[in-house]
Structure 1
């Protein structure tokens, strides 16, 4: 190549370089390269598989964990990622704390009443017949020693629990025939959970436990005669109204229902304090949101009962009094069998007795 040709080639290369640099330079004149949205996200520091006990398409009880996962991701700029798995997808719905305890998954979202056969005191953290209403449970948990007792109970299971949701009362159940007395539950095949299941069993019913996704089929095929499960909006979504036309109130067996995020204890202890605080803060926010949705969504469902052939009924006072009496017997029996149950039950009762001095005076009567 001649010197002239070489010179021309160098000049052309130089001009191409200038044009290329102008083409990629941001209009603002900032010489830093533009970054994609993905690259601005924080490096992921928590990535957990989280099996759940309730399908995410169920209002209130199922969508709460979606709120928790989305809020954690947004607050951490993507650094905290909870991968939510539907019931049975990787862990059966009644085995979530087992999987967390054994380190098969990092965390799970569930109702601790399902642990009744493994941790005798667990139902006290989920729901108690004729027990505390939602704000009472929160007050006990946050300000009267409940959190400490709950955490100590589950530390024995290699689990750290976070109070992460609560709803108001469930319905007292769905029945094919009216209930006029406790004689009507004698031999009745009913799906029932937790301590309420022990009570209705002692009242004469034949109790079985089923996850939410299996209840409708059992009702439809006659494997069970009746069921309790959740809130009206949840129960109707599952189709109970199509096979059982009598929906009873009040929810004596679960005046409130609390939910927890269960985290493997080693996994929890390895988190830095800031991430522990973030998880606690988001779960506490979820408690408030969960209760708000629980209260907001039921009235319209009950108002629509006549259109779907459902009759909303109230249990007779004498039935409720008898169930309350049996509940007291069940609680005494469980406390005598298990020391943790006794300690937590006594703590709850002491708080309720103290709180009653305020509750009985501060609020208007419900029939005012």
Structure 2
């Protein structure tokens, strides 16, 4: 499926004529190229755009090769790096609203999220966020994945008291929820998580989907894998390009970037949906992992604390309030459709 979509994207090249020598755009990725879905999404985008464009060629770099992951936004804005492939949730420490364009606890799943982005106000607000905070970048939505797992724990969690006092790697807005219930959270890059678990610097972690987490080896240390991923019902990924670099591109090159990112959204979502069950089966049958579901009471607690976090962030940040209100209004309308059209789960 992925190869067919990449070939379809390449067919756009038939519409292009002769062009001058291609400009090279150096792109840092937040995820290593050998990491399933997260890492390969950046590689796939690079292959697609390079296949269809004679105006530009992207060169992919793994995390840390050009700049540390958490410094990528500033590096692209300043022009020291041309572009980055990441998730805006990594900039939450700089911009409160950034995670609203990455993953929202108890928020939209992939289809709903994409509807807000492309047929409502989401994409416009995403660019406005960077502009209003002084970042010299252009953002293009460039990937999405289905829900993640809720976390890997060394011990079974029977109630909130078992979470309180834990040190846990946690991403995005969900980290603020965990902080509220007494978990001490930190944001670690993919390569730093397993060593931190191994030496006891953290007691638990969440990162991504089962197939991705399997590559990082969490199952070797933490044997309890909890579901559902309430903190990330879907996760968006962005392509950031320095605005001066972007404005220097031809209209054709800009359109080729947009089309390649749309194809990448499709393949990243489909690959995640198709490949994760096998990793879950292997975790249980070969790795001694116990798959656990949060109780209704625990999910209700997480949602209660998330609502508190959202109110606090909105009260303290006018732009967060603007985006949150817009998304909430869209979701209210979307619910009329979704509650009537889909089968009950």
TM-score, shorter chain, exceeding 0.5? yes
Please name the residue that 2:114 is paired with: 138
Q: Which residue, 328, 336, 344 being the options, matches 1:357?
A: 336
Please name the residue that 1:34 is paired with: none
1:45: Cα distance to partner?
2.8
Q: Does the alignment pair 1:223 with 2:201?
A: yes
Q: Which residue, 190, 193, 202 being the options, matches 2:171?
A: 193
Structure 1 counterpart SS, 2:236: strand
Please name the residue that 1:335 is paired with: 314
1:240-251 to structure 2, matched below 5 A, reads 240-251=218-229
Partners in 2 of 1:186 and 1:235 — Cα distance?
A: 24
Q: Does the alignment pair 1:73 with 2:73?
A: no
Larger radius of gyration: 1
Partners in 2 of 1:76 and 1:268 — Cα distance?
A: 15
Deviates more, 1:192-201 or 1:41-50: 41-50
- Where structure 2 has 5 or more consecutive residues not aligned to the other structure, the ranges are 1-17
1:143-182 to structure 2, matched below 5 A, reads 143-156=119-132, 157-182=135-160
Please name the residue that 1:326 is paired with: 305
Please name the residue that 1:288 is paired with: 266
Partners in 1 of 2:161 and 2:298 — Cα distance?
A: 10
Aligned-residue Cα RMSD (Å) equals 1.3
Structure 1 counterpart SS, 2:310: helix
Q: Which residue, 77, 92, 97 being the options, matches 1:116?
A: 92
Contact 2:96 2:317 in 1 (8 A): yes
Partners in 1 of 2:125 and 2:84 — Cα distance?
A: 20
1:42: Cα distance to partner?
5.7
Contact 1:175 1:246 in 2 (8 A): yes
CA deviation map 1:280-320 (0-9, x unaligned): 11101110111000111101111112211111110111000
Please name the residue that 2:295 is paired with: 316
Contact 2:66 2:81 in 1 (8 A): no
Contact 1:44 1:81 in 2 (8 A): no
The alignment of Structure 1 onto Structure 2 pairs a total of residues equal to 326
Distance change >3 Å, CA 44–CA 247, structure 1 → 2: farther
CA deviation map 1:175-203 (0-9, x unaligned): 00111111111110100011000000101
Partners in 1 of 2:37 and 2:300 — Cα distance?
A: 30
Q: Does the alignment pair 1:262 with 2:262?
A: no
1:46: Cα distance to partner?
2.5
1:58: Cα distance to partner?
0.6
Partners in 2 of 1:80 and 1:70 — Cα distance?
A: 12
Q: Does the alignment pair 1:300 with 2:264?
A: no
1:45-84 to structure 2, matched below 5 A, reads 45-77=22-54, 79-84=55-60
CA deviation map 1:237-262 (0-9, x unaligned): 00000000000000000000100001
- Where structure 1 has 5 or more consecutive residues not aligned to the other structure, the ranges are 1-40
1:44: Cα distance to partner?
3.1
Please name the residue that 1:345 is paired with: 324
Q: Which residue, 91, 99, 104 being the options, matches 1:128?
A: 104
